Amino acid sequence: MNSRQRVASAVNHLHPDRVPIDLGGQAASGINISAYIRLKRFLGMRTENIRVQDVFAMAAHVEPEVIEYFHTDTMMVPSLCPRFDIPIKEYRPWQLFDGSPVLVPIGFQPEAQADGSLVLMVGGQAVGKMPKDAFYFSELANSTVGTLDSLVEPPDPERTNFPLFTDEDLRFRQEAAETLFKATDKALIVDVADNLRWNTSIPNWLYALGVDPTRVDELHEKKSLNLIERFRQLAEAVGPHVDVLAVYQDLGTQRGEMISPTMFERFMVPHYKRMFSWIHENTAWKILFHSCGSIHRLIPHMIEMGVDILNPVQVTASNMDPKLLKAEFGDRLVFWGGGADTQSVLPFGTPDEVRRQVRERISILGAGGGFVFAPTQDIQADVPPQNLVAMYEAVAEYGQYPLEVP
């Protein structure tokens, strides 16, 4: 069974030969460039010409030798500009704060500040900031952290327009999809780094839902029609080569949902259902919906929307116990993630603790199929390479079907 067949089997709730593995196949399963460099050094692999693919998360382009070493099963069909409108076609040398040499997109031009931090400028506007000796950029132009003074009423839907994909972006994705499909046997994932929220912060979107829900509903409708048109563009460009479409919209915190199930059902479900119905009627893609946090009460509505796959399965959040999720939704929903905690065990545990957790999660979430292994979010900069090796070795050891129950 090759990787493409293995993932297809898992997402159709069948038993593959082993649990499929995702590393870097979509935006929430990547690895920070610093952790990636340390991992390659630990494995005795070369560390020159390592590329930063997503400059927001400073996520590495996962190279073929790492994919082969860990027997991962997925690859991303990247967009031309994954973040900040910076194309990733051409690269130039750069150095991390610790002096490690990497390659970054040519348009990535951060400016050093007096305090040692870096400010990323795009088109004369400051869009991101990285504190000195840090590992990531925080978004400035459209911050996800707002204050009461920054909250504004939602824009007029009639005067609000949403862009389509450019021809250049579509050609870039088409060439990447065709190349990866022919050169590899990996399951391919294409994403839309967008959702029903217009170009505003999460706090401002939630505020808008409270002060003018009718206008928000109109904006959601207009955005959903725009996204359907973008889905059509993607289907024409990469359709037959892609297995999974990923859509991202965070709706949970550590303790609960950001939005009540009633509000979610009223103002989001109909629009997402329209969008995802188009996907299911016009492509063979499975729909991966990414939402961090505690979202247990929203999951039935996500299934109603047409979601096939839930990611990243943050099982340490409230009401997200993996046994409960599998028992309640496992016959209708594929779990893609939840394999190891990126907030606790993976960065701070021992290799043995990592192995035990991976074994437990596989036995629960992988039972009966319907599971693709990934941690519960990107691999962060502080994760020791020993723990990463232990994690993937444990998947290889405990992920063979029929699964061993501890």
| CB contact at 8 A, 333 and 287 | no
Q: Which residues pair with 102 in a beta bridge?
A: 94
Strand order in the sheet with 244-248: 74-77, 187-192, 244-248, 286-290, 309-311, 334-336, 371-372
Q: Which residues pair with 311 in a beta bridge?
A: 290
Six-digit token string for 168: 């250049």
Question: Residue 147's pLDDT is what?
Answer: 54
Identify the weakest region by mean pLDDT among 139-153, 285-299, 356-370: 139-153
Average pLDDT taken over every residue of the chain? 95
- In terms of phi and psi (left: phi > 0; alpha: psi -120 to 50; beta: otherwise), the region of 205 is alpha
Question: Residue 148's pLDDT is what?
Answer: 54
Single out the residue of 380, 384, 336 nearest to residue 19, CA to CA.
336
Q: Give the model confidence (pLDDT) of 150-208 as tens digits.
A: 788 899 999 999 999 999 999 999 999 999 999 999 999 999 989 999 988 888 999 99
**What is the spatial distance between Cα 332 and Cα 353, in angstroms, rounded to a whole number?**
31
Q: Give the model confidence (pLDDT) of 8-24 as tens digits.
A: 999 999 999 999 999 99
| CB contact at 8 A, 74 and 186 | yes
Mean pLDDT score, 310-330: 97
Torsion of CA 288, 16, 375, 77, to 10 degrees: -50
Within 238-354, strands assigned E span: 244-248, 286-290, 309-311, 334-336
Assign 84 a pLDDT band (cuts: 50, 70, 90).
Answer: confident
Cis peptide upstream of residue 64 (ω within 30 degrees of 0): no
The length of the chain, given as a count of residues: 406
Assign 139 a pLDDT band (cuts: 50, 70, 90).
Answer: confident
Assign 114 a pLDDT band (cuts: 50, 70, 90).
Answer: very high
Evaluate if residue 141 carries a pLDDT over 70: no
Strand 101-105 and strand 91-95: the pairing is antiparallel
Mean pLDDT score, 338-357: 97
**What is the spatial distance between Cα 376 and Cα 339, in angstroms, rounded to a whole number?**
7
| CA 154-160-161 angle, 5° bins | 140
Q: Give the model confidence (pLDDT) of 208-256 as tens digits.
A: 999 999 999 999 999 999 999 999 999 999 999 999 999 999 999 999 9
Evaluate if residue 146 carries a pLDDT over 60: no
Decide: residue 318, CB within 10 A, 0-12 exposed, 13-18 middle, 19+ buried. middle
DSSP 3-state assignment of 105?
Answer: strand
| CB contact at 8 A, 231 and 279 | yes
Evaluate if residue 142 carries a pLDDT over 80: no
Mean pLDDT score, 343-362: 97
Evaluate if residue 145 carries a pLDDT over 50: no
Structural domains in the chain plus CATH codes: 3-31+61-81+141-398 (3.20.20.210)
Question: Residue 85's pLDDT is what?
Answer: 86
Evaluate if residue 332 carries a pLDDT over 70: yes
Question: Residue 234's pLDDT is what?
Answer: 98
